């Protein structure tokens, strides 16, 4: 049987399986729940998923704060910033990834600094958009991850967070939601951080200029 | 009649320490689920929204699959169709051969487990490594996963320590979960960096945008996809969602129902291949369209594989996942088995249930699991002649008060004889694992009559 036969066969079977009458309609948009929002709710939740919240910090002096945090995580290791973080922080102890770098270029990164788009208070997830192959690998190959998040981009719930992202973000580049460090409980249900990806996850909140 | 379930459960039952540990570990997940659900004010509204969104998808599956194919292709994916397990195996092997990919890293996928992909790839000379820690443990041990979310929940740290010592060269006697996990991390990191291809399952696929959503706690799916130039995503056709706005509804339910987390550590939305790479999506039927045609049972296709029904099931908790046989354990495994496993083996599983309804109560997408189990029992083909005769006799006795009284008196008379013959009686699996209780010497009706006489 050729692959196109499989397609025809499945579609034919689905046509036969369709209900005779009354195709049920889409239920529409889920009403936004009234949950506690804001950075303080986010911080509490982040701690519960094994992450560490910092700030809010004003933009002035931010680079020095981030350098200190990165050096606290790794005294001498390689620090790499993604494009969004680099644009925000300017020059510092970090290197920026070349747009055409291979993903394997991130293999020995000790600390990655990555710009988050939106933060969700109900689950401490931060949306990260990657613009290149290396940026896609960076938050997973690094030993420690620092996410930068604007205070006004923290929303209460996941529905609002999806609505907050530009449609292009959900339709083109990969969008990764990160909630705390990599973890596993596969050995006797003992929680271990750093199963594959980063051992730690810091989220630094940035206030708008004040 | 001795069922496969009964036979396999017998291997677990003789070791009470093992099943009480399993029971406690699994029920702990249930408790975490409960407190996570209580934390969400719109939990029940979310469940019914999810059920309705899935009902819509299942009613419009053909149209939504075609839309998904169009949008995913526009985003740069190559979409394949596989009508059964053999077709999936052929398809994946064909893609890997075409790309000359020999080293494959896999992330957790119940679908590829269902389709027997790993043994097939190995037989084709392709090196395939499961990268989820629990899956890696069962792969190294040559076993099947025993739980949807925690594949090695049946193994102790000592057993895993010995396995890693033997297979990965970790120090002898190492039983610390953190150090064992580090050992696996080092071994797998090297494999991620060398991989030619990543094979993954898919948690949800959005028809509207052609997006794949992958959920992990370890980040293993992402490491595979980000590093290997080739990504093959195996997608059961029932995993579709109509719109992007449906995704947060399901994501809010999934991790809370599975482990009590508010969301898994990583949720990746993927549109098309990574820069410089290629993405193949294989849409797999393997019996799903057949189940869809069955009005009574199509709701089971709404399952999002969270494992909540396993964690709450008194049968699963005591018997363990291996007792169910492949591909899925627990109540959802028993509900899908008659459709997935033609023949007697699949038909037996719905019998292994207390019908307590706890599974239906926790299911995040509102599948009527215990009603489905009951329906499968009713649809079960006529049992053997001996069982049928026994049932006819029971029906005749229970329908006649006089016969019932005589039968009761007879049974009490014969009790010592029964008790002597009970242990290890091969006559019926009903007798194993159960003790014959002592009886009060008289029926309720006899005692009642006596008491009344005494009072007068």
pLDDT tens-digit map of B51-92: 999 999 999 999 999 999 999 999 999 999 999 999 999 999
**Does residue B367 register a pLDDT over 50?**
yes
**Does residue B6 register a pLDDT over 70?**
no
pLDDT tens-digit map of B159-198: 999 999 999 999 999 999 999 999 999 999 999 999 999 9
Q: Residue A122: closest CA among chain B residues belongs to which residue? A: B262
In a mutagenesis test of the B interface, which of A186, A193, A199, A203 is the best target, namely the one with the most B β-carbons within 10 Å?
A186
Residues of B in Cβ contact (< 8 Å) with A145: none
pLDDT number for residue B3: 58
CB within 8 Å: A26 and B248: no
Q: What is the mean pLDDT of chain A?
A: 93
**Minimum distance, in Å, between the CA of residue A131 and any CA atom of chain B:** 9
Q: Is the ipTM of this complex over 0.90?
A: yes
Half-sphere exposure of B118 (CA within 13 A, CB side): 25
- First and final C-alpha spacing in chain B: 50
pLDDT number for residue A210: 47
pLDDT tens-digit map of B17-26: 888 899 999 9
Assign B13 a pLDDT band (cuts: 50, 70, 90).
low
Contact B98, B122 (CB under 8 A): no
In angstroms, the CA B367 to CA B301 distance is: 9
From A10, A23, A123, residue closest to B81, measured CB to CB: A10
Beta bridge partners, A96, equal A81
Give the mean model confidence (pLDDT) for residues A194-208: 95
In angstroms, the CA B332 to CA B357 distance is: 12
Give how far Cα B441 sits from Cα of B56, B204, B316, B416, Å: 58, 60, 36, 12
pLDDT number for residue B347: 83
Assign A167 a pLDDT band (cuts: 50, 70, 90).
confident
Q: Tell me what percent of the residues of chain B surpass a pLDDT of 70.
A: 93
Instruction: Tell whether B268 is within 8 A of chain A (Cβ).
Output: yes
Give the mean model confidence (pLDDT) for residues B86-114: 96
From B152, B189, B251, residue closest to A158, measured CB to CB: B251
Instruction: Tell whether B242 is within 8 A of chain A (Cβ).
Output: yes
**Minimum distance, in Å, between the CA of residue B45 and any CA atom of chain A:** 8
Contact A111, A70 (CB under 8 A): yes
Give the mean model confidence (pLDDT) for residues B286-312: 95
CB within 8 Å: A174 and B269: yes
pLDDT number for residue B382: 63
CB within 8 Å: B265 and A26: no
Contact B380, B347 (CB under 8 A): yes
In a mutagenesis test of the B interface, which of A195, A198, A201 is the best target, namely the one with the most B β-carbons within 10 Å?
A195
**Minimum distance, in Å, between the CA of residue A162 and any CA atom of chain B:** 7
pLDDT tens-digit map of B205-239: 999 999 999 999 999 999 999 999 999 999 999 99
pLDDT tens-digit map of B128-162: 999 999 999 999 999 999 999 999 999 999 999 99
Query: Six-digit token pair at A44?
Result: 């509490």
Give the mean model confidence (pLDDT) for residues B4-31: 79
CB within 8 Å: B65 and A173: no
**Does residue B1 register a pLDDT over 50?**
no
**Does residue B202 register a pLDDT over 60?**
yes
pLDDT number for residue B436: 76
pLDDT tens-digit map of A30-69: 999 999 989 999 999 999 999 999 999 999 999 999 999 9
């Amino acid at each position: 049987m050729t692959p196109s036969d499989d397609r025809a066969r499945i579609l034919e079977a689905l046509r036969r399986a369709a209900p005779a009458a009354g195709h049920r309609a889409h239920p529409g948009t889920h009403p936004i729940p009234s949950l506690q929002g804001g950075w303080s709710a986010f911080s509490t939740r982040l701690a519960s998923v094994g992450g560490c919240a910092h700030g809010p910090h004003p933009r002035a002096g931010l680079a020095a704060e981030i350098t200190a945090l990165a050096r606290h995580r790794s005294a001498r290791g390689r620090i790499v910033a993604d494009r969004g973080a680099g644009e925000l922080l300017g020059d510092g102890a970090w290197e920026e990834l070349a747009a055409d770098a291979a993903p394997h270029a991130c293999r020995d990164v000790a600390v990655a600094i990555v710009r988050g788009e939106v933060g969700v208070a109900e689950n401490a997830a931060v949306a990260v958009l990657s613009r290149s192959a290396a940026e896609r690998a960076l938050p997973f190959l690094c030993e420690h991850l620092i996410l930068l998040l604007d205070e006004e981009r923290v929303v209460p719930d996941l529905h609002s967070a999806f609505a907050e992202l530009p449609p292009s973000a959900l339709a083109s580049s990969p969008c990764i939601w990160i909630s705390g460090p990599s973890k596993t409980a596969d050995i006797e249900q003992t929680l271990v951080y750093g199963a594959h990806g980063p051992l730690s996850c810091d989220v630094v909140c940035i206030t708008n200029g004040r | 009649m001795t069922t496969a379930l009964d036979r396999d459960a017998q291997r677990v039952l003789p070791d009470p320490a093992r099943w009480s540990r399993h029971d406690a570990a699994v029920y702990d997940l249930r408790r975490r689920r409960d407190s996570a659900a209580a934390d969400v004010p719109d939990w029940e509204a979310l469940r019914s929204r999810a059920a309705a969104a899935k009902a819509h998808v299942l009613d419009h599956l053909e149209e939504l699959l075609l839309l998904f194919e169009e949008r995913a292709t526009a985003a740069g994916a190559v979409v394949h169709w596989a009508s059964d397990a053999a077709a999936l195996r052929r398809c994946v092997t064909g893609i890997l051969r075409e790309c000359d990919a020999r080293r494959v890293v896999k992330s957790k996928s119940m679908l590829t487990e269902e389709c027997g992909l790993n043994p097939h790839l190995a037989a084709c000379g392709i090196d395939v490594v499961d990268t989820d820690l629990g899956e890696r443990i069962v792969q190294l041990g040559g076993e099947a996963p025993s739980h949807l979310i925690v594949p090695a929940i049946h193994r102790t740290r000592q057993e895993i320590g010995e396995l890693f010592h033997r297979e990965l060269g970790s120090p002898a006697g190492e039983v610390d979960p953190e150090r064992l996990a580090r050992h696996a991390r080092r071994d797998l990191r090297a494999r991620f960096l060398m991989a030619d291809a990543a094979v993954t399952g898919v948690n949800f696929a959005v028809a509207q945008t052609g997006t794949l959503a992958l959920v992990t706690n370890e980040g293993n799916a992402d490491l595979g996809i980000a590093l290997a130039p080739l990504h093959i995503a195996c997608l059961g056709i029932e995993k579709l969602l109509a719109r992007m706005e449906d995704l947060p509804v399901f994501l809010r339910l999934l991790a809370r129902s599975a482990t009590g987390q508010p969301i898994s550590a990583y949720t990746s939305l993927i549109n098309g291949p990574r820069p410089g790479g290629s993405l193949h999506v294989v849409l797999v039927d393997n019996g799903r369209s057949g189940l869809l045609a069955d009005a009574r049972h199509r709701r089971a296709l709404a399952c999002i594989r969270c494992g909540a029904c396993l964690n709450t099931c008194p049968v699963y908790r005591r018997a363990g996942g291996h007792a169910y046989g492949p591909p899925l354990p627990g109540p959802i495994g028993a509900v899908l088995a008659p459709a997935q496993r033609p023949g007697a083996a699949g038909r037996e599983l719905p019998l292994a249930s207390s019908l307590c309804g706890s599974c239906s109560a926790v299911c995040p997408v509102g599948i009527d699991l215990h009603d489905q189990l009951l329906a499968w029992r009713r649809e079960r083909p006529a049992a053997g002649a001996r069982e049928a005769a026994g049932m006819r006799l029971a029906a005749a006795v229970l329908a006649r008060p006089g016969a019932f009284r005589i039968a009761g008196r007879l049974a009490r008379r014969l009790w010592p004889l029964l008790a002597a013959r009970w242990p290890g009686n091969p006559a019926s699996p009903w007798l194993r694992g159960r003790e014959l209780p002592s009886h009060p010497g008289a029926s309720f009706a006899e005692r009642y009559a006596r008491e009344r006489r005494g009072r007068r």
